[in-house]
């Protein structure tokens, strides 16, 4: 099922077309076009107005979609990731040398498959990373 936002996007595009066709009609009136051209432009206006009316009706019947808690969280997180060109990487599963360093956190000294989480952020050309030797992060871990 389409969302109200999707219907609104269709309506916005139709309204843009409607403005353009209205402008076309105004310009045509200055050059006295033949009747069939005037009728064609009027048909365009009528059809586009129908699309606008249809989207209004669909939006009135579409229940508003509420974001789930995880969708809200991810939307906010995305803003932060975009601002800082952030990257979150799971490290150590590829045997890249993190296993020995992070394995001890799990009581597996010398284990090549231990994992951690690496956060990388860039702002104003400066890139910094922080690696956590755990697979779960909470707010307390972030500062």
- Residues 53 and 79 occupy one common structural domain: no
The answer on 55 and 8 residing in a single domain is yes
pLDDT score for 17: 95
Q: What is the number of domains present in the chain?
A: 2
87 with 35, same domain?
A: no
What confidence tier does 104 reach under pLDDT thresholds 50, 70, 90?
Answer: very low
pLDDT higher than 70, residue 109: no
**Is the model's pLDDT at 111 over the cut of 50?**
no
Domain co-membership, 21 together with 42:
yes
- Single out the residue in 61, 81, 100 at which a domain terminates: 61
**Token pair listed for 115:** 């994992």
pLDDT band of residue 5 (cuts 50, 70, 90) is confident
Indicate whether 73 and 115 sit together in one domain.
yes
Where does residue 110 rank: exposed (0-12), middle (13-18), buried (19+ CB within 10 A)?
exposed
Model confidence, pTM = 0.45
Instruction: Give me the domain span that covers residue 119.
Output: 69-135
In a domain, 141, yes or no: no
Higher pLDDT among residues 44 and 99, named by residue: 44
Rounded CA-CA distance 75/66 in Å is 13
Mark which of 61, 77, 109 sits at the end of a domain.
61
């Amino acid at each position: 099922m389409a969302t109200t936002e999707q219907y609104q996007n269709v309506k916005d595009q139709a309204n843009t077309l409607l403005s353009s066709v209205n402008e076309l009609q105004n310009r045509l009136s200055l050059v006295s076009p033949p009747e069939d051209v005037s009728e064609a432009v009027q048909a365009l206006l009528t059809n586009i107005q129908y699309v606008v009316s249809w989207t209004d009706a669909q939006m009135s019947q579409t229940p508003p979609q509420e974001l789930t808690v995880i969708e809200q969280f991810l939307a906010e997180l995305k803003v932060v990731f975009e601002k800082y060109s952030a990257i979150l990487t799971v490290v150590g599963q590829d045997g890249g040398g993190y296993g020995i360093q992070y394995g001890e956190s799990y009581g597996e000294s010398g284990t090549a498959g231990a994992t951690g989480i690496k956060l990388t952020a860039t702002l104003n050309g400066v890139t910094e990373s922080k690696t956590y030797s755990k697979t779960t992060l909470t707010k307390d871990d972030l500062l």
